[in-house]
Structure 1
Amino acid sequence: MHLHRKHKEWLVAYLFIAPTVFGLYLFFLYPMVSSVFISFTKWNHLTAPEFIGLVNYSRLFHDPTIWLEFKNTMFFVLVSVPLTVAISLFLANALNKKKLLGKGTFRTIFFLPYVILPVITAQIFMIIFNSRYGLVNGFLKILGLGQSAWFSSSLLTRIIIVIVTLWACIGYYTIILLAGLQNISPQYYEACDIDGGSWWVKFIHVTFPLVTPQLFFCLVLAVINSFKMFDYIFVFGKSNVIVRENIRTMAFGIYERGFTYLEMGYASAEAIIFSIIVLGVTILQNVGQKRWVHYS
């Protein structure tokens, strides 16, 4: 009787996890394995895949556009991620102050941009930075300063994309870090006050070490999201083809080759290399976190 009830519990448990497992195999593992196979073929969606071996991978390493996409992707990772994490930590520390009025309102304001779709966010900033009637150029005109055609330069467009990324994501990371800060016992700060420690000493020796688990989580997410930079490239680049070709990322290149030029084999090969790069960076982060992340 006991064994029968145990089997029944197992059956119920399997029924509950079945949708998740089925979805994992159907929408993750199967496409991943298929991409590996397709990367060794020449396929245009219309005809049967033709096996060509390592031709796509050889072509990747000799394609200057791929190297440009890689450099642009690393630019967004190396610039956006440190700024995002640093500003989020600063805001979280400010919102954690007990005497701050309207903390709930500020938290909501900072978090709202995160729930807006990236395409809508990009459209908003295209209007703000419009060279003819944009808010930024209007403000510069009032100050008597020079105005710019923001989206006519690849460098300026990259800077705008970094600004948009910060505006859209900082609220989410701030809330995560704020949750970590609120779990720090006040006794640590009281002990630091007794020893005459300044605010900087408190931050370096109390706040930062105890919030490193949340910092590490935010760092991993920020790196992955920066690697996946696509929406802003697509929206900002559509108004100027020359600029788009100079700011293109690996995620954008995979999409364009696969669904615009119908080179699915080549796109899959780039996707595999891209996945290996992201996986490698994530592994390095997990190995490195043992040196600076402190779990209490």
Structure 2
Amino acid sequence: MDRKKKYKEWLWAFFFVGPTVVGIYLFYIYPVFDSVYISLTKWNHLSKPEFIGFANYVQLFRDPQVLKEFFNTLFYVITIVPATIVFSLLLANALNKKTPLTGFLRTAFFLPYMLLPVVTATVWRLMFNTRYGLINVVLGNLGLPQPAWISGEYSVRLVIMVVSLWASIGYYGVILLAGLQNISHQYYEACELDGGNAWHKFIHITVPLVTPQLFFVVMITVISVFQLFDYIFIFGKGNPAVKENIRTMAFGIYERGFTYLDMGYASAEAIVFCVLVLGVTVIQNYGQKKWVHYS
């Protein structure tokens, strides 16, 4: 009877877990191994893949355009991730107060995350338009210079950073806010008794006790910025010079695979890209033991 009950439990477990496991193998694990094989071939979607060994990888590490994509991606990670973490934490701390407008403000800051990145980038591209964009209209009325935001090599990167922050800090702020609300007020009261001010509370209580949520936010922010594509696609559209200056590895993979139909080369870059992101993730997981405090 016990054996029959055990088999029944296993059957029900497989019934519920099986579809997910099969889906992971079909849509995640198999495509990864297939991509590894394609990266060793020359394939243009139309003819049969031709096996060429590691030629794509050799070309990849000699390609100056790929090198530029790598440094651009690294630039966005180094600049956008810290800014996102800082502003998200400050936003969460500001929203962690009970006021008549708290509920409205939390919703208002979260809403930009609900928009598709392509929609967000398109709207902001119009706002930063040199001739009729809202930003330059306001600057002109104030008698200030009206830069060509989308055409400049550095200004367009600044625009991408601003748009990324605008679209994401509300979401990450809500995650951090959940962590802040779990901090007991007794810690803050004890700090006040010791003569601590608001800054001391923030540095010595808020930040250390919200590190589990901070670690999660850092992880998903880094992965998200590594995959930066939509903003590059929209802001570089119609301007080849700008596109070449801001292109990322994710954009390069898309362009080589679906514009130039060089799937073997695109797959090789995708594999290198995955290894890079995996390496950064492993380092983050190892490093979190030294700064994340689980209460």
The alignment's TM-score, normalised by the length of structure 2, stands at 0.98
- Judge conservation of contact 1:254–1:271 (CA < 8 Å) in 2: yes
Q: Give runs of aligned pairs for residues 100-139 of structure 1, distance below 5 A.
A: 100-139=99-138
* Alignment match, 2:222: 223
What SS does the aligned partner of 2:154 have? Answer: helix
* Alignment match, 2:258: 259
Q: In the TM superposition, what whole-angstrom CA distance separates every residue of 1:115-139 from its partner, at most 9, and x where no partner exists?
A: 1000000111011101111100000
- Counterpart CA distance in 2 for 1:252 and 1:127 is 21
- Counterpart CA distance in 1 for 2:145 and 2:168 is 30
What SS does the aligned partner of 2:210 have? Answer: helix
* Alignment match, 2:50: 50
Cα offset, 1:185, TM superposition: 0.5
Q: Give runs of aligned pairs for residues 161-240 of structure 1, distance below 5 A.
A: 161-240=160-239
- Counterpart CA distance in 2 for 1:253 and 1:192 is 51
Q: Give runs of aligned pairs for residues 141-152 of structure 1, distance below 5 A.
A: 141-152=140-151
Q: In the TM superposition, what whole-angstrom CA distance separates every residue of 1:50-86 from its partner, at most 9, and x where no partner exists?
A: 1111110110111000010001101110000000010
Cα offset, 1:97, TM superposition: 2.0
Q: Which AA in structure 2 matches 1:270? A: E
- Counterpart CA distance in 1 for 2:190 and 2:144 is 51
Cα offset, 1:239, TM superposition: 2.4
Cα offset, 1:154, TM superposition: 2.0
Unaligned runs of 5+ in 1: none
Q: Which AA in structure 2 matches 1:276? A: V
* Alignment match, 1:17: 17
* Alignment match, 1:283: 282
- Counterpart CA distance in 2 for 1:288 and 1:2 is 46
- Counterpart CA distance in 2 for 1:151 and 1:178 is 34
- Counterpart CA distance in 2 for 1:257 and 1:79 is 26
Q: Give runs of aligned pairs for residues 77-88 of structure 1, distance below 5 A.
A: 77-88=77-88
Q: In the TM superposition, what whole-angstrom CA distance separates every residue of 1:243-273 from its partner, at most 9, and x where no partner exists?
A: 0011100000000001111111100110011
* Alignment match, 2:90: 90
- Counterpart CA distance in 2 for 1:110 and 1:49 is 48
- Counterpart CA distance in 2 for 1:194 and 1:212 is 24
Cα offset, 1:9, TM superposition: 1.6
Q: In the TM superposition, what whole-angstrom CA distance separates every residue of 1:19-63 from its partner, at most 9, and x where no partner exists?
A: 111110111001100011111111111111111111101101110
Equivalent pairs counted in the alignment come to 295
Q: Give runs of aligned pairs for residues 234-249 of structure 1, distance below 5 A.
A: 234-249=233-248
Cα offset, 1:5, TM superposition: 2.1
Cα offset, 1:4, TM superposition: 1.2
* Alignment match, 1:73: 73
Cα offset, 1:2, TM superposition: 2.7
- Counterpart CA distance in 2 for 1:200 and 1:23 is 49
Cα offset, 1:203, TM superposition: 1.2
- Counterpart CA distance in 1 for 2:59 and 2:226 is 22
Q: Which AA in structure 2 matches 1:40? A: L
Cα offset, 1:3, TM superposition: 1.9
What SS does the aligned partner of 1:13 have? Answer: helix
* Alignment match, 1:6: 6
What SS does the aligned partner of 1:294 have? Answer: coil
Superposed CA RMSD in Å reads: 0.8
- Counterpart CA distance in 1 for 2:209 and 2:128 is 40
Q: In the TM superposition, what whole-angstrom CA distance separates every residue of 1:186-244 from its partner, at most 9, and x where no partner exists?
A: 01001111111111111111111100000000000100000000001111111211100
Q: Which AA in structure 1 matches 2:24? A: L
Q: Percent of aligned positions with the same letter in both sequences?
A: 63
- Counterpart CA distance in 2 for 1:105 and 1:253 is 40
- Counterpart CA distance in 2 for 1:25 and 1:46 is 26
- Counterpart CA distance in 1 for 2:127 and 2:100 is 30
Q: Which AA in structure 1 matches 2:65? A: T
Q: Which AA in structure 2 matches 1:182? A: Q
Unaligned runs of 5+ in 2: none
